[in-house]
Amino acid sequence: MKTDIEISQAATMAPITEIANKVGFSPDSIEQYGQYKAKIPFETIKAKDSEPSGKLILVTSINPTPAGEGKSTVSIGLADGLNRIGAKTSLALREPSLGPVMGVKGGATGGGYAQVVPMEDINLHFTGDMHAITTANNALSALIDNHMQQGNALQIDARRVIWKRVVDLNDRALRQIVVGLGGPMQGVPREDGFDITVASEIMAILCLADSIHDLKRRLGAIVIGYTYQKEPITVSDLQVEGALALLLKDALKPNLVQTLEGTPAFVHGGPFANIAHGCNSVMATKLALHASEFVVTEAGFGADLGAEKFLDIKVPVLGKAPDAIVIVATIRALKMHGGLPKNELAQEDIASLKEGYANLQRHIRNMQRYQIPVVVALNEFVTDTEAEFQTLVDLCQADQVEIRRCAVWAQGGAGGEELAQAIVEITAGNGTTNYQRLYQDDASIEEKTAAIVKKIYGGKQVTFSQKATKQIQSFKQYGWDELPICMAKTQYSFSDDPTKLGAPTDFDVTIREFVPKLGAGFLVALTGDVMTMPGLPKRPAALNMDVTDDGQAIGLF
Amino acid sequence: MKTDIEISQAATMAPITEIANKVGFSPDSIEQYGQYKAKIPFETIKAKDSEPSGKLILVTSINPTPAGEGKSTVSIGLADGLNRIGAKTSLALREPSLGPVMGVKGGATGGGYAQVVPMEDINLHFTGDMHAITTANNALSALIDNHMQQGNALQIDARRVIWKRVVDLNDRALRQIVVGLGGPMQGVPREDGFDITVASEIMAILCLADSIHDLKRRLGAIVIGYTYQKEPITVSDLQVEGALALLLKDALKPNLVQTLEGTPAFVHGGPFANIAHGCNSVMATKLALHASEFVVTEAGFGADLGAEKFLDIKVPVLGKAPDAIVIVATIRALKMHGGLPKNELAQEDIASLKEGYANLQRHIRNMQRYQIPVVVALNEFVTDTEAEFQTLVDLCQADQVEIRRCAVWAQGGAGGEELAQAIVEITAGNGTTNYQRLYQDDASIEEKTAAIVKKIYGGKQVTFSQKATKQIQSFKQYGWDELPICMAKTQYSFSDDPTKLGAPTDFDVTIREFVPKLGAGFLVALTGDVMTMPGLPKRPAALNMDVTDDGQAIGLF
């Protein structure tokens, strides 16, 4: 059996000009980055603005388990499948972060015969977006520390700087650090730390901004910390939003690549789905919609995290709700949600499957609550039995939801045609859904948080720590209480306890602390321990990586 | 008068395919990065290998002063001038570092009508080389800290890790930091610090490697620290040279851009000229030589630092010595070397000029010692008087060295024709010089250091600190004593005291410490305080930067 990188390196890619042509861009209207990557400049985007919008398909999943769900693979295979049955389709996906690639993952561009390529480039530096974000983030840190060093006119309290530095790597030693040591010429000593780049507010901003103008406005609104009088200080106060926007001007342009089957793929932006909203950029999604009949996009982690944020945070900015939602599940993962241990997943086990279906069922009902049609995509594994499949079909039928098998890993787009057909049928019609938001922005912070915890997670109630309660009061004073809530919660469970699989009930969720993200335009509610800087494993994927003398990558997968 | 960015934005650039064509590369044989930048892939480089080598012109200068010398501007104008008089010429220059751009400089791509473009891109993220180096450098740090965290099989002594992290920013608060705080799950606490990316050994390696194979060998040889038993530990011991090379595989490909007059410019690599050797890449220089009749290149700071390292470190790797050396001087700067205060430089002052000529004279004699023809380029300023110019001409004539005026800032290549003509004449002939190295590699560390201090700096003697003396002994044991010496010294003086302008004599130079750079292949000898992480000024250039709604840069210069 071929590995992902072998499949990808054996593929014959079309020149990116040809892919661009499929979505109506002439060679002169794109910025090529090598033969197989391009950025789409602002003039080209503007010229597409008047085109009608295609249909938007959001791919999400059950709560992830170590058994694997394959959400990206299904998204890619579905898009290829749609093109195969004659629906002009593009992808709008997130960019991988180098940290996990060098750490555990080894790559994040789909798998098998459902991949976006060139996978080596996309997994490594791609068109430099991550690096631009890292640089802008750290330039802001340097400017903050320099401001304190050079007289501190804004009276920044070094103990209350909330802006952290970033690297796009897994580096636990940088989680908690002390900077500015070495005496008065080396800066103001203070506690600091590095997050991974995809956790930077600037990443979230890049993904929500719809123009350079909006980018600059959002950058200016970032709260970097507080004065000695506890008044918030923004980037505008430092007068550096222009410089930061300048560093990001090219990163804001959507990237274009292709799938193994030549489907245009806009791969752009990749905010963490815990501390941020976990979806690709508004710029790319909008552009893809104006350039295609169907756009397949994806949200991070399970539907309780990524899809909820897509629907409640991204959709209002995008101005367009999904026309259908695909929930990816695997029989293996459902059996795990039903209590079967990881080493027994290869065995048929109808009872565990039925038990674990509760997880899928709650996600289905949650998505239906938004008044958007739902299809379940069963991502097939060789160990699945026909009896298990039939059980799942029966369960879905009882819940009146469509389910389709998917064999895109092994077969590419051909294995996604059945799902594609269902999507075309379910979205046929005048093209608007009755999308309903979960909450309105003018509800109180407590109400909005409770709506998510009770209606989406299935929790009993939400409690706020003393700190969070105090923050709610000051946020009202600052006028920040009309922002949506971005939950930071474990992806493994509906609850804030990663060990509670399936569909737990009767649990409370505690909000430990809020983090204001005024530039992104949301308030992060922290539950449990949120990891914003991963560590490397005992044997990092990097140890398997190499490059041949003629420049071919080895060890990405 | 137009600013640099105004001139550059008003310029009509040729598509990069057209520029590539001038040096014999077809559109298919380059990797485009937008319309006006390209990387040259390895196959294309290989195909040029059999072409005869053109002539190499090294541009260097007197010791820099706040009065300004304009070495890059002269290099660019000279290349344009050579093309104007019919000599097929390319440039091989360094890439700017973002730190100084955001800090004081605002840009580093020449000036006036002698610029490389697109200046915005080159000054910001360009083709991502700096970011790839930053990432590779910091991935190594993360892997080192992870190794210590996960059992420390190599017995790395946390107190003796010499590998530092980097950012491509001016950020003094990161000079001295403590990492790994927060308890046993957050890494091993230790002292660390960030250098600016251009000070990274990986930058030096990228600029000296002549292939991916050589890159990997050099990366493997990097010494990252010592065991508890004080034995050196290399990257090969960690088995991650493959992963680092993979991160750098695209960065190793030379970049192609153009001057305002359409001269092909290979802008690639930019190591600091203090902690490293301060020249652009061997890959780019070689490629340019195979693709042109003349190649104009540049070395950092004054001829005592950059040119000495070019001649003693880069030339043996490149396998080709310069055919001529241009020393850039200005009358203003020479008057400063002669003792005239900065605010009086606009006045005619023959006495100061004569006095300050001693600085230029020593550089001339130093360069002549290498048996390479020398031409002085007088970079004109409006305040220069005819009497001053005549004085300088007489002084040069007495020293039997050619001098030519240069007006490239105001006139572009037309202002460099006279200098270009002199270069063509002086290099006419069979094309080989009698290049003589300053020292042989098998001389002792003490002898090599003394050769630089006495013969180039004009110092009386070199003394070694107790630490340096001890290091020389252990380096002999490790077999590192046959490497060339890379001096880290102030750029402002021939001596190690930045206030001693002109041509000081009767001074000693103290080597405080050596830093082994086994990957780069040299031993750094530290004198005085060497700044490997600059700070930001009170009002950073970033505060003037902005971007328009349609993506035009503001505030770069």
* Architecture of the CATH domain B129-242: 2-Layer Sandwich (3.30)
Residue A72 assigned to a binding site: yes
Burial class (CB in 10 A: 0-12, 13-18, 19+), A368: middle
**What is the pLDDT confidence band of residue A45, given thresholds at 50, 70 and 90?**
very high
Spatial CB neighbours of B460, under 8 Å, sequence gap ≥ 6: B454, B505, B506, B507, B508
Residue A73 annotated among the catalytic residues of the structure? yes
Record the pTM. Answer: 0.96
Other CB atoms within 10 Å distance of the CB of residue B511: 26
For domain B4-126+251-426, give the CATH superfamily.
P-loop containing nucleotide triphosphate hydrolases (3.40.50.300)
**What is the pLDDT confidence band of residue A181, given thresholds at 50, 70 and 90?**
very high
What residues in A contact B188, CB-CB < 8 Å?
Answer: 173
Query: Residue B360's closest CA among B386, B333, B389, B400?
Result: B333
The type of residue at B402 is E
Burial class (CB in 10 A: 0-12, 13-18, 19+), A454: middle
CB burial string B140-163: b at 16+ within 10 A, e below = bbbbbbbbbbeeeebebbbeebeb
Q: Decide if B34 and A34 are in contact by the 8 Å CB cutoff.
A: no
Taking 90 as the threshold, does the pLDDT of residue B530 lie above it?
no
Catalytic residue among B126, B381, B514, B522: B381
- The pLDDT assigned to B433 comes to 75
**What is the pLDDT confidence band of residue B431, given thresholds at 50, 70 and 90?**
low
- Mean pLDDT confidence for B322-326: 97
- The pLDDT assigned to A16 comes to 96
Q: Decide if A182 and B175 are in contact by the 8 Å CB cutoff.
A: yes
CB pairs under 8 A between A and B: 244
At A513-552, the pLDDT tens digits run 999 999 999 999 999 888 899 999 999 999 999 999 999 9
- The pLDDT assigned to A269 comes to 96
- The pLDDT assigned to A106 comes to 59
Residue B73 annotated among the catalytic residues of the structure? yes
Spatial CB neighbours of A63, under 8 Å, sequence gap ≥ 6: A301, A302, A304, A337, A359, A363, A491, A492, A493, A494, A501
The span from the CA of A533 to the CA of B182, in Å, is 13
Please, are residues B202 and B216 in contact by the beta-carbon 8 Å criterion? no
Residue A25 annotated among the catalytic residues of the structure? no
- The pLDDT assigned to B106 comes to 59
CB burial string A498-533: b at 16+ within 10 A, e below = eebbbbbeebebbbbbbbbbbbbbbbbbbbbebbbb
Residues B9, B11, B12, B15, Cα dihedral to 10°: -70
Name all contacts of A8-16 with Cβ < 8 Å and 24+ positions apart.
A8/A109, A8/A115, A8/A117, A8/A118, A8/A119, A8/A120, A8/A260, A9/A120, A9/A552, A11/A115, A11/A117, A11/A260, A13/A117, A13/A118, A13/A258, A14/A258, A14/A262, A16/A256, A16/A257, A16/A258
- Mean pLDDT confidence for B438-452: 96
Q: Decide if A249 and B553 are in contact by the 8 Å CB cutoff.
A: yes
Q: Provide, rounded to the nearest whole percent, the portion of chain B with pLDDT above 90.
A: 90
The ipTM, to two decimals, is 0.95
- The pLDDT assigned to A103 comes to 86
What residues in B contact A188, CB-CB < 8 Å?
Answer: 173
At B379-404, the pLDDT tens digits run 999 999 999 999 999 999 999 999 99
Catalytic residue among B273, B303, B450, B468: B273
**What is the pLDDT confidence band of residue A67, given thresholds at 50, 70 and 90?**
confident
Distance from CA of A6 to the nearest CA of B (A): 16
Catalytic residue among A163, A266, A301, A522: A301
At A468-504, the pLDDT tens digits run 999 999 999 999 999 999 999 999 999 999 999 999 9
Residue A22 assigned to a binding site: no
Distance from CA of B125 to the nearest CA of A (A): 7
At B11-28, the pLDDT tens digits run 899 999 999 999 999 999
Q: Decide if A246 and B546 are in contact by the 8 Å CB cutoff.
A: yes
Residue B232 assigned to a binding site: no
Q: Decide if A146 and B33 are in contact by the 8 Å CB cutoff.
A: no
Residue B142 has its nearest CB partner, among A43, A169, A213, at: A169
- Mean pLDDT confidence for A220-239: 97
Residue B227's φ and ψ, nearest 5 degrees, are -75, 175
CATH class name, domain A445-527:
alpha beta
**What is the pLDDT confidence band of residue A300, given thresholds at 50, 70 and 90?**
confident
Query: What does DSSP say about strands A194-196 and A190-192: parallel, antiparallel, or unpaired?
Result: unpaired
At A115-158, the pLDDT tens digits run 999 999 999 999 999 999 999 999 999 999 999 999 999 999 99
- The pLDDT assigned to B132 comes to 98
> Mutate which of A120, A156, A177 to disrupt the B interface (most B C-beta within 10 Å)?
A177
Taking 80 as the threshold, does the pLDDT of residue A107 lie above it?
no
Taking 90 as the threshold, does the pLDDT of residue A8 lie above it?
no
Catalytic residue among B25, B38, B44, B73: B73
**What is the pLDDT confidence band of residue B5, given thresholds at 50, 70 and 90?**
confident
What residues in B contact A42, CB-CB < 8 Å?
Answer: 550-551
Please, are residues A97 and A198 in contact by the beta-carbon 8 Å criterion? yes
State whether residue B525 is helix, strand or coil. strand
Residue B172 has its nearest CB partner, among A134, A171, A187, at: A187
List of E strands, A407-527? 461-464, 485-488, 508-511, 513-517, 522-526
CA distances from B467 to A536, B157, B478, B511 (A): 36, 19, 16, 9
- The pLDDT assigned to B531 comes to 84
Q: Decide if A138 and B41 are in contact by the 8 Å CB cutoff.
A: no
- The pLDDT assigned to B103 comes to 86
**What is the pLDDT confidence band of residue A431, given thresholds at 50, 70 and 90?**
low
What residues in B contact A39, CB-CB < 8 Å?
Answer: 34
Q: Output DSSP code: residue A442.
A: T
Q: Considering chain B, what is the average pLDDT of its residues?
A: 95
Distance from CA of B2 to the nearest CA of A (A): 21
Distance from CA of A108 to the nearest CA of B (A): 16
Cα-to-chain-centroid distance, residue A452:
18
- The pLDDT assigned to B2 comes to 83
Between helix B241-248 and helix B212-221 the angle, nearest 10°, is 130
Distance from CA of B545 to the nearest CA of A (A): 5
Catalytic residue among B39, B55, B71, B489: B71
What residues in A contact B31, CB-CB < 8 Å?
Answer: 33-35
Q: What is the DSSP string of A126-150?
A: TTSHHHHHHHHHHHHHHHHHHHHHT
Instruction: For chain A, give every domain's residue range.
Output: 4-126+251-426, 129-242, 445-527
Residue A409 annotated among the catalytic residues of the structure? yes
Q: Output DSSP code: residue A484.
A: P
Please, are residues B71 and B61 in contact by the beta-carbon 8 Å criterion? yes
Spatial CB neighbours of A231, under 8 Å, sequence gap ≥ 6: none
List of E strands, A81-187? 89-93, 110-111, 114-117, 156-161, 165-167, 177-179
**What is the pLDDT confidence band of residue B107, given thresholds at 50, 70 and 90?**
low
Residue A386: left if φ>0, alpha if ψ -120 to 50, beta else—which one? Answer: alpha
**HEC assignment per residue over B242-253:** HHHHHHHCCCCC
- The pLDDT assigned to A430 comes to 67
**What is the pLDDT confidence band of residue A197, given thresholds at 50, 70 and 90?**
very high
